[in-house]
Amino acid sequence: MGLDVGDRTIGIAISDGLGLTAQPKETIRRVSLKEDIDRLVELILENNIIKIVIGLPLNMNGTLGPQGEKTQGFAQKLEKKLKYSDRMVGKTVEIVFWDERLTTASAQRALIEVDMRRENRRQIVDTVAAVFILQNYMDHQKNMR
């Protein structure tokens, strides 16, 4: 599962069964931390997720900025929920971070290239960014073998 965590939304992508391609899943409109994490737990269980790749927003010089710190904080809370949730007994889900620099810009460009209207782009750009994050991670893992 790939996540693009923002202040207002969380874009979600999942891989196919073979772990070859990333597919858009949904965009969560953020309401509260509890509701956001509860929805993620549902998706993790429904899709038998064993690894979550969270896009880490780094500054262009590679340093961690305020948004990166927020993302790390969110990941820590998600990890804690996964570890102590009654629904997750017997399941282990690994959380890894992946450099997400320019993924939202790449997602915007891809949607513009297919002539998607601006208001429609806003609704799915975070999910497309999550697809880029997950696909880049999977491609990197495949090339490391």
Per-residue pLDDT of 27-84, as tens digits, reads 999 999 999 999 999 999 999 999 999 999 988 898 999 999 999 999 999 999 999 8
Predicted model pTM: 0.88
Cα dihedral 70→110→102→4 (10° resolution): 20
- Supply the pLDDT for residue 29: 96
Find how far residue 14's CA is from the centre of its chain. 9
Structure token pair of residue 70:
């927020």
Per-residue pLDDT of 71-121, as tens digits, reads 999 999 999 999 988 888 889 999 999 998 767 666 667 767 776 676 765
Cβ atoms of 93 and 51 within 8 Å: the answer is yes
Q: How many helices (H) and strands (E) does the chain have?
A: 4, 5
CATH number for the domain whose boundaries are 2-144:
3.30.420.140
Cβ atoms of 125 and 10 within 8 Å: the answer is no
- Supply the pLDDT for residue 120: 62
